Amino acid sequence: MSGGRPTTDTGATEMFSGTYTLRRSVVDGATSDQRQWRIYSAEIKRER
């Protein structure tokens, strides 16, 4: 995962771990927008 450390409304730091599955369309005639990577699914859990 990338980015900063998430915090709650009270300023407490939270930690998360998990995976993302990305997909993109690769077909003849697809526009550049259609060929961009997209998040297909995510499995994220808060670490305690």
pLDDT in tens, 38-48: 999 999 998 88
∠ Cα 14 46 43 (to 5°): 135
Which pTM value belongs to this model?
0.55
Query: What distance, in Å, lies between the first and last C-alpha atoms of the chain?
Result: 17
SS3 of 48, please?
coil
pLDDT in tens, 1-48: 445 677 888 988 888 899 999 999 888 988 888 899 999 999 999 888
Domain limits of the chain?
Answer: 1-48
Q: Residue 37 and residue 23: Cα distance in Å, rounded?
A: 6
